[in-house]
Chain A
Amino acid sequence: MSVLKLGVPSKGRLQDKTMEWFAEHGITLSRTGNEREYSGVVSGVDGVELVMLSAGEIPRELKAGRIHLGVTGTDLIHEKLPLWERVVVNLQELGFGQADLIIAVPNGWIDVDCVEDLDGAAAQFRANHGYRLRIATKYHNLVRGFLRARGVADYQLVDSQGATEGVVKNLTAEAVADITSSGATLEANHLKILTDGLILQSQACVFASRSADWSKSALVALDDMANKTGWDLSGLKI
């Protein structure tokens, strides 16, 4: 009987890399049925059920305790779970899915290089246009916290769930706060990163839920996995 639920990203490179990483540690995750069916099996350890979820849903499922373990990015955990250390334990940095959450502005803003400049430009923008400079992002909590700590106030966040780099060109925002790995997309969209605009360095990790039902048999399955992966379970006080 499956007693420990492992949530992994349901598609894409993140899923492939996750499967690779577990395979290297003697745990095989495989899909059942056709490519579109979100179910799978786990071999190499007993009692583990594979749950395919979008990476964005995994923080919520961990918090609710509906999955015991989940693979997702630190960016999503920090954004979606305030006080995340009380909700989950980071068991393993996986070494892929690396990306930086940064603030970027148009290349042509030669007067803006750092957050302090952004504050100055924001004050000027509000005086000229009658509304506050718009920063497009899907990381509202992280960006607001970052700017608050640096005393920037004359801005507004506008929600952007995808293709964030395009918003400046489309005149729906003046700046962006987004995830970038190589910076190539930003460059192609004529955007530059603020020199001190790094909000968070993210990568894919295995998180354990503190609120899941850690029955005796779930713990046995977890110990099995830890023996193969070398996870330190001491942070997970159950």
Chain B
Amino acid sequence: MSPVAVKTLAGILSNAFIGAGAVPVEAEALQPAEVLLDLYGEDIRGRAYVTDDPVDGEQMLRPDFTVPVVQMHMADGAEPARYTYNGPVWRKQEPGAGRAKEYLQVGFELFDRHDPAASDAEVFALFHEILQPYDLRMATGDVGLLAAAIEGLTTTARRKERLRRQIWRPDRFRHLLDMYSGKVANLPTRVAMIENVAAIGATEVLNATGPLLGVRSAAEVLARVASLQDDAATAPIPAAEVEVLEELLAVHGMASDALQSLRKVQDRLDGFALAVDRLETRLNAMAAKGVDVDNLPFEANFGLTSLEYYDGFVFSFFDGENPISSGGRYDALTQVLGQGRSIPAVGGVIRPDALAAVMGGAS
């Protein structure tokens, strides 16, 4: 389909969001790199285009609208607020993958601290309705379930923090869980270091290495040694609790069935039932909006490799394996960008170019 036709389609989508009560907003193409680097880490350099301004320093061609829209809302937004945007984003792609480096995104973001389940349902039902004619494959999930399950484990705050940090990297998460539950042994180098420290003392081991260079201080090294010692002496996470996590990660079916299977194991983890309650409340709110939750696909670990800043409800619409639309809840992101303030937020985007390709295929 021609670029003009894609732009026309983007306009139609944009009008649909305006019709749903959203205020159109704009964002600058160049965003300060520092904010994005702080959020995503060095990795974002591999995915976004970086350029340099002699005065303002490193800038990035916006890889999405979410960050600037959140910043704009935090600066002077009234609550509740609904925004929509329509413009290009730029992403570096794997060399040779042949994916577009520049494409349009039309999005809808809802900031409302009143009723999260109703907000999730409003956003999903809106995307569902707009995309209904295209017969796309739906996928939904809930990152909040895994976060709540981690919180409910019988283990130290440090281990929970380490697990939370790796939610987005399933391989690393699995490795940590295996280590913390005693399935795999601690790293041999770490065991040797801990034995050495036990034998002659941490300060002595450190002093024997010669002068300590650099900004990272001896106190920091010794603090981490102590935390590794503590951790090595920590009791493994009980097998029954690990089973709940395993079951949770394996949940893959229709939303209403998923709810039933989670209900059966929820009481084995402290506080986990509350997260399952939230899932039920959301499904009820979605049903009230006309979504058929008995036939809505749900995977507990959906999106854990790609939708990086979402921390609650997540959804996508696919044509085959090709993503057309995605979205979710990102409360934590607003906390990071709000410097002490935060606002519950949920939203999503549609790629008109990808949607146009679906239409082209159908006609």
Contact = CB atoms under 8 A, between A and B. Distances in A.
A111 B225 contact: yes
A82 interface: yes
B193 A111 contact: yes
A40 interface: no
B221 interface: yes
Contacts of B321: none
A82 B41 CA distance: 22
A156 B215 CA distance: 15
A107 B209 contact: yes
A168 B171 contact: no
A108 B202 CA distance: 11
Given A123-B165, A151-B169, A108 B41 contact: no
Contact of A120 (B95, B215, B224): B224
Contacts of A132: 37-38, 41-42
Contact of A110 (B45, B209, B214, B215): B209
A171 interface: yes
Nearest to B37: A156
B211 A108 contact: yes
B218 A111 contact: no
B336 interface: no
Interface in B242-283: none
A154 B45 contact: no
Interface residues of A, number: 41
B193 A113 contact: yes
A67 B96 CA distance: 24
B11 interface: no
A78 to B, nearest CB: 12
B213 interface: yes
Contacts of B216: 106, 109, 121, 125, 133, 174
A88 interface: no
A178 to B, nearest CB: 15
A86 interface: yes
A33 interface: no
Contacts of B224: 111, 120-121, 124
B172 A106 contact: no
Interface of B: 37-38, 40-43, 45-46, 95-96, 162, 165-166, 169, 171-172, 187, 189-190, 193, 197, 202, 205-206, 209-216, 218, 220-221, 223-225, 228
Closest 5 CB pairs of A and B: A108-B212, A153-B41, A113-B189, A151-B169, A82-B95
Given A110-B197, A151-B171, A153-B41, 8 more contacts: A106-B214, A108-B210, A108-B213, A113-B190, A114-B189, A171-B214, A171-B215, A190-B211
